[in-house]
Amino acid sequence: MSNVVIQCVLYLVILVALGIPLGKYMGKVMNGEKVFLSRILSPVENGIYKLLHIDKDEDMTWKKYAVCAVAFSVIGFIFLLVMCLGQGILPLNPEKFGGQSWHLAFNTTSSFVTNTNWQAYSAENPSGGLSYFTQMLGLNVQNFVSAATGIAVLFALIRGFLRVKKKGLGNFYTDMTKIVLYILMPICLISAVVLVSQGVPQTFREYQEVDLLEPVTLEDGTVVTKEVIPLGPAASQIAIKQAGTNGGGFWGLNSTHPFENPTPLSNMFEMILLLLIPVGLCFTFGRNIKDMRQGRAIFIAMFLMLVVALGIVAFNEQAGTPQLAQNGAVDIAAGADQAGGNMEGKETRFGIATSSTWAAFTTAASNGSVNSMHDSYTPIGGMIPMLLMMLGEVVFGGTGCGLYGMIGFAILTVFIAGLMVGRTPEYLGKKIEPFEMKMAVLVCLATPIGILIGSGLACLLPATADSLNNPGAHGLSEILYAYSSAGGNNGSAFAGFNANTPFLNVSIGLVMLFVRFLPMLAALAIAGSLVQKKKVAVSAGTLPTHNAMFIFLLVFIVLLVGALSFFPALALGPIAEFFQMIA
């Protein structure tokens, strides 16, 4: 157990140590300050504005900013949908994959446009798989721009707090250009080179057929002597899938695949990338609103929830289950020669500590990539990643959207605390009035609404049972996890659940779109209202929003909303399974 603790602490320390300077850098970029890349990238940036006829100095109202963000996503949706449907006649398709079915194409497109990257297909499988062209120019482009859209909306909200009696929140297209050019591209370029150095493929060669070292005899007596090795331009896509909190695997096994994640170094590097930008944005927030205490308070609230979640997952996976230990069937004691605990569904090269840390990081980050199979986790070990998604991707969450989701909870906390103690509801110097509260409630409740309605409808449909790999409580957990992943814009899965059916593809796709765009529009509406207000002077009636009491209240409100929304569903799924296990 001490080895598990040491590894988890090491990952957290490295994450924070890198996140602080990155936060400062991102703040400078979005403020238009000079950074070390300015001399190289400024001519490129200005060339993009000239080529696309963008007025970089235009100051958009929240409504125009919202229209641009949605229209940009709609255009991307159409292009990606056409690629998925028609990839059979497009180039860079050495395996001759045909187009996806209409419902799978809708699901795939909804997934990548919303930064979810849920995959109801295996990318290297001829049935529903994707060509190099679709992966690169379809999915990979959306990996960049969907991540950038979330960050852009966050900075519009920051300007809403910072500016006084204005109307403009900045220029959506200018923000997008800066984010992609100065933040995402440099991080991903470095990351792709590191991944290639570890053995991740970056090639246009077709799949290779190789001889097995030993023949394999299947259950039906067939002897297999050859295997097909999938290749492709993977490193460039894996870099942004991790850094942009996207998460879609280049191959079906995601980061458990030895080509996506070949070595312990690549594993640690990818795991740090999962949360690097969301952690950095907490410090960017404090810097750009000119009060680092506020950024630190939100960071501490998120960090505490992440640490607790990680601890619970790691403890339960290391403890294993009574069934594994029954009659000495499996030795679950950790030792020099084995990890012990519940190693089902985990790579022996990574063990429990790294697998548990990745599971917590990826569901906290709204990333969704996996280096182990969450369907094989213990009931409580699998419930915590599910709960992290249910909370609304606010424990760091996705790039930008996680932080503006947490700011929605902060506004809700200020209002509730003000009612309790009779203090004026203010946040960051701006008075919180009924309009802001209505929008904040939409930000906070969109995820529970999407998850519960979607999973409820799926449970009512008898055909859904055919998609389950397990009956009973665990089967319900598979359904609940799938819609939690869609509702949290996460993308990971209890892999035993076959979601590639017309109803499941369409319903999960609709949940992803709903939960992505409703909070985004509500956050922009809050920004548009706040930017027109004057600053309120701090007084004896102002509730401090940077101290330990506020951090406690913020965490309490996040968990309270999650508990009130999901406890009945969790009680019928993973909690019921836990009690069945120990009975």
Band (421; pLDDT cuts 50, 70, 90):
confident
Q: What's the pLDDT at 336?
A: 66
pLDDT in the model for residue 328: 66
Determine whether 303 is exposed, middle or buried from the number of CB atoms within 10 Å of its CB (0-12, 13-18, 19+). Answer: buried
Given a cut of 70, whether residue 552 has pLDDT beyond it is yes
Q: How confident is the model at residue 366 (pLDDT cuts 50, 70, 90)?
A: confident
**What secondary structure does DSSP assign to 395-448, as a single string?**
SS-STTHHHHHHHHHHHHHHHHHHHHHT-B-EETTEE--HHHHHHHHHHHHHHH
Please state, as a whole number, how many other Cβ atoms lie within 10 Å of the Cβ of residue 193.
13
Q: What are the tens digits of pLDDT across the range 324-355? A: 777 666 677 776 677 778 888 898 888 888 99
For residue 480, what pLDDT is reported?
Answer: 94
Three-state secondary-structure class, residue 260: coil
Q: What is the pLDDT of residue 539?
A: 76
| 193-224 residue pLDDT tens | 999 999 999 999 999 989 988 888 888 888 88
What's the confidence (pLDDT) of residue 327?
63
Residue pLDDT, tens place only, 270-301:
999 999 999 999 999 999 999 999 999 999 99
Which H/E stretch holds residue 227? Answer: strand 223-229
Q: What is the DSSP letter of 255?
A: G
pLDDT for 574 beyond 70: yes
Locus of tokens 């947490």: 406
If pLDDT is split at 50, 70 and 90, which confidence band does 417 have? confident
Alpha helices in 92-230 (DSSP H): 102-113, 132-133, 141-162, 172-178, 185-197
Report whether 546 contacts 460 (CB < 8 A).
Answer: no
pLDDT at 496: 77
pLDDT at 507: 96
Residue type, 175: D
Q: How confident is the model at residue 7 (pLDDT cuts 50, 70, 90)?
A: confident
Residue 123 pLDDT grade (very low, low, confident, very high; cuts 50, 70, 90): confident
Considering the entire predicted model, what is its pTM? 0.94
Average pLDDT along the chain: 91
Look at residue 455 and tell me whether its pLDDT is greater than 90.
yes
Task: Give the residue from 157, 188, 194, 193 showing the smallest Cα distance to 172.
Answer: 157
pLDDT greater than 60 at residue 171: yes
Q: What pLDDT is attached to residue 581? A: 87
CA atoms of 243 and 52, how far apart (whole Å) = 27
Summary count for the chain: helices (H), strands (E) = 20, 4
pLDDT tens figures, 189-201: 999 999 999 999 9
Provide mean pLDDT across the span 399-427: 89
Q: What is the pLDDT of residue 8?
A: 80
Cα–Cα distance, 93 to 89 (Å, whole number): 9
Q: What angle do CA 349, 355, 357 make, to 5 degrees?
A: 135
Q: Is 81:161 a contact under the CB 8 Å cutoff?
A: no
d(CA 411, CA 87): 45
pLDDT at position 1 over 70: no
Quick count: other Cβ atoms within 10 Å of Cβ 126?
Answer: 10
pLDDT at 571: 94
